[in-house]
Structure 1
């Protein structure tokens, strides 16, 4: 019986640590204003990966700069532009960001800073890139 209690305590302890870690990872979920304050994005989760899509904008546009001519007529509204992020070491990494301003896709990492979302797109090494701040909204 003592062995059973010991195993039960270890199992409960491990599962509670998993719940705490998952809660920390999911703090990113929600809505954010774009850096120019002209649109809103939603960060959401599918399985263990995080994504972001455009949910509203002041001036809805088409994806006119896409290198694929067949995609140039698609709406930016509803488009998933942050893809495949994994939470590790207090940041969301291994993802990609699509920039509709130039039609290019970049490697990307994200992190929370005082409740706001910092998004860094880069080519190769993350020290060569650009960081934008998305402001958290309720």
Structure 2
């Protein structure tokens, strides 16, 4: 009888702990995320009390036209046009604004622009990334591919 009682207590404790452990994992934005289009992987990490996001992988890391690694050639700053895409910082000033939500700016390497943005954890393996240009806003869901 004592073994059965100990077993029930152990199971009950595990059931009480499991939801909080899941909630912590679900709200953790850090890790490696694949963009919705699957063309890039971004490592999100904690920095400066907020979040940083850096490109760590590309679907096509080599530019087919040049045969060399992809560079930030859409950047309006001539001094930055030759920096490699892998290692490129995407998020800046991403600070917490609500539970599971951070706001700041995001760099769009497709057009060289920096936009108001927010990221929020939408599930254990989903990061919602949104950005606005003036009154026009859009977003996409990124999928966790690593911790």
What is the match of residue 58 of structure 1? Answer: 59
TM-score (norm 2): 0.70
SS at 1:65's partner residue? coil
What is the CA–CA distance in structure 1 between the aligned matches of 2:97 and 2:26, rounded to whole Å? 8
Q: Which residue does the alignment assign to 1:6?
A: none
Correspondences of 1:85-124 after superposition (within 5 Å): 85-114=94-123, 115-124=125-134
Aligned counterparts of 1:26 and 1:85: Cα–Cα separation in 2: 15
Structure 1 residue 48 corresponds to structure 2 residue 49? yes
Q: TM-score, normalised by structure 1?
A: 0.74
Aligned pairs, how many? 115
Instruction: Give the structure 1 partner of residue 143 of structure 2.
Output: 135
Match of 1:16 in 2: none
Instruction: Go from structure 1 to structure 2 and tell me whether the alpha carbon gap of 1:116 and 1:25 turns closer, same or farther (over 3 Å shift).
Output: closer
Residue 28 of structure 2: SS of its match in structure 1?
helix
The whole-number CA distance in structure 2 between the counterparts of 1:91 and 1:67 is 32
How far, CA to CA, are the matches of 1:45 and 1:25 in structure 2?
16
Higher relative contact order (CA 8 A, sep 6+): 2
Structure with higher Rg: it is: 2
5+ long unaligned stretches in structure 1: 1-22
CA contact under 8 A between 2:101 and 2:121: conserved in structure 1? no
Counterpart CA distance in 2 for 1:88 and 1:70 is 33
Cα deviation, residue 39, structure 1 = 2.0
Give 1:24 deviation, angstroms.
7.6
RMSD: 2.1
Q: Give 1:26 deviation, angstroms.
A: 6.4
Q: Which residue of 1 aligns with 2:93?
A: 84
Q: Note if contact 1:91-1:109 (Cα within 8 Å) is conserved in structure 2.
A: no
Q: CA deviation at 1:25?
A: 9.6
The unaligned stretches of length 5 or more in structure 2 are 1-23, 62-69
CA distance in 2, matches of 1:87, 1:24: 17
